[in-house]
């Protein structure tokens, strides 16, 4: 008689780079697809470096979340089983901070070239329409729009990326429709119907606008002054819609002037400058560039708005000659106009969508100049680091596609 079988156990080993000690919280979750969402099992604190593997009772869990609750600074990687479970169940995990940790892990995988940008967008398309937490939704959509679709995705693949973003925003809008405009404006009401933060609808509206590729829906919203189901388009949303229509070539300067007449406020002035610079027209780009880099009369706010409109992912070929000019003219502008404009020139006016070796070489040559204004130097250093990262991500994806 050999006695009863031994109770099952599993071992937890955490590998890490670097020498700084960490204390992390580890949470484990059981998951059987047939039984629904994951269920929490173990919750323990772990000091790193770990001297030896931990032997824990039970079968190997379906999901092991390192640094749950985000208590230390760490970049995480999951084991293959946990990653598979996470990508299948992310929207159903009950704790929003756990979901945020996993979304941040996915973000870092994309940034390091280990997860395809399209795979991140597919995960967002699957899970984000069911997300209830405003901070998680805002963070994921912001990264997906600005970084994934904007700079990590090759221009040939951008239409598909934008289609994914608009589809998930439509799902969020459907989920939150039927509430009064006043409720959305007050940030009240509706949560009892969807168990979701009411601000989710406004976030979805904003990102739908930014990723739209067909002007018909946006034109209808602008004409009606209303998103069907709310909210009413306030001046900020009207300018956002008009800005996207300008990028798409669906409005002209007369429409921009008419909107400015209706809203001559500071917000209106900035919105008009942004829209005019976004028009896909050589003459519009020339005038915007001269206003930024030659006229020297724009305020910091109007300079920033003009720069934001000027560079658009859809217009990289149109503005290609200005990439070289930027590195020639930005240092002189910063010396003439001081630290505030230097910061704006290094941030909003940086040609972030020119993701290629030539642009990176131009930027590094500019950064090597001895007489750069410190405010511009700091911004350029950060921007060029981001540009190099985007180039690595694209190169790895191109290599994976051909390999």
Q: Give pTM, 2 decimals.
A: 0.91
Q: How many angstroms separate the CA atoms of 84 and 82, rounded?
A: 5
User: Tokens for 247?
Assistant: 């990028």
DSSP label at 104? Answer: H
Q: What pLDDT was estimated at residue 217?
A: 97
- What is the model's pLDDT at position 394? 96
For residue 187, the surrounding DSSP H or E stretch is: none
Cα–Cα separations (whole angstroms), residue 210 to 10, 74, 260, 272, 330: 47, 32, 20, 17, 27
Burial of 150 (0-12, 13-18, 19+ CB in 10 A): buried
Which pLDDT score is estimated for 401? 73
pLDDT (0 to 100) of residue 327:
97
In the chain (403 residues long), the average pLDDT of successive 10-residue segments reads 76 86 90 83 87 88 92 90 94 93 97 96 95 95 97 95 97 79 41 61 97 97 95 96 98 98 97 98 98 96 98 96 97 96 98 97 96 97 98 90 69
DSSP 91: G
* pLDDT at res. 400: 77
Note the pLDDT of residue 50: 82
């Amino acid at each position: 008689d050999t006695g009863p079988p031994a109770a099952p156990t599993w071992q937890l080993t955490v590998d890490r780079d670097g020498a700084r000690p960490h204390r992390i919280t580890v949470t484990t979750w059981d998951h059987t697809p047939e039984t629904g969402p994951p269920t929490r099992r173990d919750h323990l604190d772990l000091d790193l470096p770990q001297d030896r593997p931990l032997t824990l009772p039970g079968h190997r869990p379906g999901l092991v979340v390192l640094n749950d609750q985000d208590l230390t600074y760490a970049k995480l990687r999951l084991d293959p089983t946990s990653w598979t479970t996470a990508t299948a169940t992310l929207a159903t995990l009950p704790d929003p901070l756990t979901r945020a940790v996993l979304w941040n892990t996915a973000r870092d995988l994309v940034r390091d070239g280990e997860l395809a940008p399209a795979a991140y967008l597919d995960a967002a398309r699957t899970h984000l329409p069911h997300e209830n937490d405003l901070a998680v939704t805002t963070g994921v959509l912001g990264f997906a729009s600005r970084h994934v679709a904007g700079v990590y995705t090759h221009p040939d693949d951008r239409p598909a990326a934008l289609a994914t973003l608009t589809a998930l925003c439509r799902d969020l809008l459907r989920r939150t429709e039927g509430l009064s405009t006043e409720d959305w404006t007050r940030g009240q009401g509706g949560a009892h119907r969807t168990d979701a933060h009411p601000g989710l609808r406004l976030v979805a509206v904003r990102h739908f606008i930014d990723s739209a590729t067909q002007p018909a829906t946006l034109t209808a919203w602008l004409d009606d002054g209303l998103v069907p189901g709310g909210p009413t388009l306030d001046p900020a949303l009207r300018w956002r819609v008009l800005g996207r229509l300008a990028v798409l070539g669906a409005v002209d300067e007369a429409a921009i002037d008419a909107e400015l007449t209706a809203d001559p406020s500071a917000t209106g002035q900035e919105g008009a400058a942004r829209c005019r610079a976004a028009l896909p027209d050589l003459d519009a780009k020339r005038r915007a560039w001269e206003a930024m880099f030659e006229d020297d009369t724009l305020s910091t706010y109007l300079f920033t708005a003009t720069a934001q409109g000027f560079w658009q992912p859809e217009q990289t070929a149109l503005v290609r000659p200005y990439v070289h000019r930027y590195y020639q003219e930005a240092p002189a502008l910063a010396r003439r106009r001081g630290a505030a404009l230097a910061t704006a020139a290094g941030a909003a006016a940086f040609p972030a969508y020119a993701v290629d070796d030539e642009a990176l070489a131009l930027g590094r040559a500019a950064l090597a100049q001895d007489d750069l204004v410190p405010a511009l130097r700091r911004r350029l250093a950060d921007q060029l680091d981001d540009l190099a990262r985007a180039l690595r991500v694209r190169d790895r994806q191109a290599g994976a596609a051909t390999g």
